[in-house]
Amino acid sequence: MILDLKLTGGRFVTLDPDRPSASSVGVWGGRIVALDTDLPARRVVDLGGATVLPGFIDAHTHLAWAGRASRVPDVSRCRTVAEVLEVLRAAPRGTWLEAAGYDHRVLDRPLTARDLDSVGSRVYVQDVSGHACVVSSDVLGLLGVPSSDGFLAESAQTAVRALILPYPVADIASDVRLGAEQCLREGVVLAAEAGVGAGLIGSSPIEVAAYQREPLPIRVQLMVSAMELREVGAHPADGVRRALPLGIRTGLGSDWLSIGALKLWTDGGMIARTAALTQPYTVGGVGQWQDDPAVMRAALLDGHAAGWQLAVHAIGDRAIDFALDVVEEAQRLVPRPGARHRIEHCGLVRPDQLDRIASLGLIPVVQPAFLWAYGDDYAEIMGPERAPWLYRGRSFLERGIVVAGSSDRPVADGNPLRGIRFMVERRSRTGLAVGSGEAVSVTEALAAYTRGAAHACGVEGVLGSITPGKLADFAVLDGDPREVSVERISEIAVLATVVGGEFRHDPAGFAD
Ligand SMILES: [Zn+2]
């Protein structure tokens, strides 16, 4: 046998417990076929001592939204309302003026509809959380809520988006490409798009076409909004009341593009103070449901019965109670031991919820970089008793719970090494310790963004470790995260990203 490619001179950190390290890897047909092999190869690339990890997996991200946020006016660096308005006035506009990156917590005061009226009509400024927006007064008029100050969250925001949407597929496709290229630069080889179709972040009823338009540089898995479920008229013996048309469900597709979990949003988020809590925020309020709980429960039960993996967005502990109750009920009605349901975010977990997460086999899909970016704010709105329960690590691993790493970009930084550093260090960007008891080792954190995320996406047979038989996807780094000091982990450069045995990102010119 002649290999297509042999990577030599690397320090391969395989994350495969049976074979933790290697210095060369043989690739044939886009897959890893051997470690430390003498087989001849058509091409040999010397990695010059670089550290090589399995390609990272971002188990929850938003490619289209991240791409769009990177090209519409961004107000995230503004510190006053006057600066926001300056950015908006300078921006090009179509029928709508859309902007991204609004964060009321960093401005001198909240932005209002009246402020936006001075810029023009049909102004839509998306909150960084994705769960809210501020709009101009004419938009409030279109919605029939003229008395509002312009800040609209959750279902009210969805109503605004219904006015703006759909986007053309060509635009969505270029946004997806921009988002995928961001991933590639950061060593991410598989991105799980956290919701296509209806719901908070859908862009068009035919948006899946945007992912099929042209080959993408990374692998993509699409979670489908539970609002897409339809009565399908299946045979009673199938026990399927609602499904996607044709019975399409989790697992369909290829190594490049596949259907992932069924996504349902149960609550909001911490940034917008809409994550559903059992005890109020220190600033008041207990958050809110995304929809009528009876409607959400029915969707999850039907999705489970139709064979879907569920991805239940639940950030506050009250939302997590809801997710636990419904998954337990679903499993009682239709036992599916391998269902591998996920809790997206799983942000505030009370101590009494941990064992239930473990016994139901649920996978928390966490975003550690939230606490790096927003930890000071989250700790304050939770108060000292609850702050250590945020975005846990150690407590999950101790119970044998598989933890999947992710970013939720553009809500937070998409760089996996940023999330990995936080999981180890548990400090916000200002240095505030948040839940130090939840710290994990570097290897455990690396596993969350490789093996754990692969498990959450159902692709552990082909991704997540450097193991013969798996896909030849690698992140080539200029340092070993296990050996540098913890604050250097997020500064390690990605020298190359290899997908399917090809150098898709190669600023160092290894493949030249
Ligand atoms: Zn998300």
The pLDDT of residue 202: 84
Residue 462 lies in a domain: no
CA of 62 to the centre of ligand 1 (A): 7
CA–CA separation, 340 and 303 (whole Å): 13
> What does residue 142 show for φ and ψ, rounded to 5 degrees?
-60, -35
Per the domain annotation, does 274 fall within a domain?
Answer: yes
What are phi and psi for residue 126, nearest 5 degrees? -80, 135
CA 127 – ligand 1 centroid, Å:
13
State how far Cα 473 lies from the chain centre: 19
Q: Which amino acid is at 197?
A: G
Shared-domain flag, residues 322 and 434: yes
- The Cβ-side half-sphere exposure at 492, using a 13 Å CA radius, reads 31
Nearest by Cα to 475 from 61, 255, 188: 188
Helix axes 368-382, 416-425, angle to 10 degrees: 50
Q: Are 196 and 61 spatial neighbours (Cβ–Cβ below 8 Å)?
A: no
Q: Which domain holds residue 444?
A: 169-456
Determine contact, residues 345/390, Cβ cutoff 8 Å.
no
Whether residue 220 is found in the same domain as residue 305: yes
The verdict on 124 and 185 lying in the same domain is no
Alpha-carbon gap, residue 200 to 159, rounded angstroms: 10
511 located within any domain: no
For residue 14, what is the domain's CATH number?
2.30.40.10
CA of 158 from ligand 1 middle (Å) equals 15
Residue 314 C-alpha to ligand 1 middle, in angstroms?
A: 11
β-pair partners for 5? 27
Structure tokens at 45: 């690339």
| 248 shares a domain with 112 | no
| pLDDT reported for residue 155 | 85
Q: What separation in Å is there between the alpha carbon of 60 and the centre of ligand 1?
A: 6
For residue 194, the CA-to-ligand 1 centroid distance in Å is: 6
Phi-psi region of 195 (alpha: psi -120 to 50; beta: other; left: phi over 0): left
374 and 271 Cβ atoms separated by less than 8 Å: yes
Sign of CA dihedral 337, 340, 343, 348: positive
Among 120, 143, 164, residue at a domain's last position: 164
User: Do 482 and 433 share a structural domain?
Assistant: no
Span from the CA of 134 to the centroid of ligand 1 (angstroms): 19
238 and 118 in one domain? no
Judgement on whether residues 145 and 278 belong to the same structural domain of the protein: no
Give me the CATH number covering residue 111.
3.10.310.70
CB burial readout 240-270, b (16+ within 10 A) else e = bbbbbeeebbbeebebbbbbbbbbbbbbbbb
Q: Is the peptide bond before 166 cis (omega within 30 degrees of 0)?
A: yes
Report how far apart the first and last C-alpha atoms of the chain are (Å, whole number): 24
For the chain, the domain total comes to 3
Domain end position, chosen among 164, 192, 207:
164
Looking at the structure, do residues 471 and 410 belong to the same domain, yes or no?
Answer: no
Phi, psi angle pair for 446, to nearest 5°: -60, -40
* Residue 46 to residue 478: CA distance in whole angstroms: 14
Cα 506 to Cα 502: distance, rounded to the nearest angstrom: 10
CA torsion, ordered 382, 151, 124, 227, to nearest 10 deg: 70
Distance 3 CA to ligand 1 centre (A): 40
Question: Is residue 512 domain-resident?
Answer: no
Pairing verdict, β 31-35 and 25-28: antiparallel
C-alpha 129 to ligand 1 mean position (Å)? 9
- Residue 154 domain-assigned (yes or no): yes
In a domain, 61, yes or no: no
The DSSP output letter for 350 is -
- What distance in angstroms lies between residue 196's CA and the mean position of ligand 1's atoms? 11
What's the chain's length in residues? 512
Whole-number CA gyration radius for the chain: 23
Query: Separation of 24 CA from ligand 1 center, angstroms?
Result: 37
Q: What is the DSSP letter of 167?
A: P
Kindly state whether residues 158 and 293 are assigned to the same domain. Answer: no
**Same domain membership, residue 330 and residue 433:** yes
CA distance linking residue 151 with residue 125, whole number of Å? 9
Q: Tell me the average confidence (pLDDT) per consecutive run of 10 residues in the chain, 512 residues long.
A: 97 97 97 97 97 98 93 94 96 91 94 96 92 94 87 89 93 96 98 88 91 95 96 96 96 98 96 96 96 97 98 98 98 97 98 98 97 96 98 98 97 95 97 98 98 98 98 98 97 98 96 88
Q: Which of 133, 164, 195 is the last residue of a domain?
A: 164
pLDDT of the residue at 388: 98
pTM score of the predicted model? 0.95
Q: How far is the CA of 26 from the centre of ligand 1 (A)?
A: 36
- Residue 384 inside a domain? The answer is yes
**Residue 149 falls within a domain, yes or no?**
yes
* 284 and 158 housed in the same domain: no
120 CA from centroid of ligand 1 (Å): 30
> Both 78 and 214 in a single domain?
no
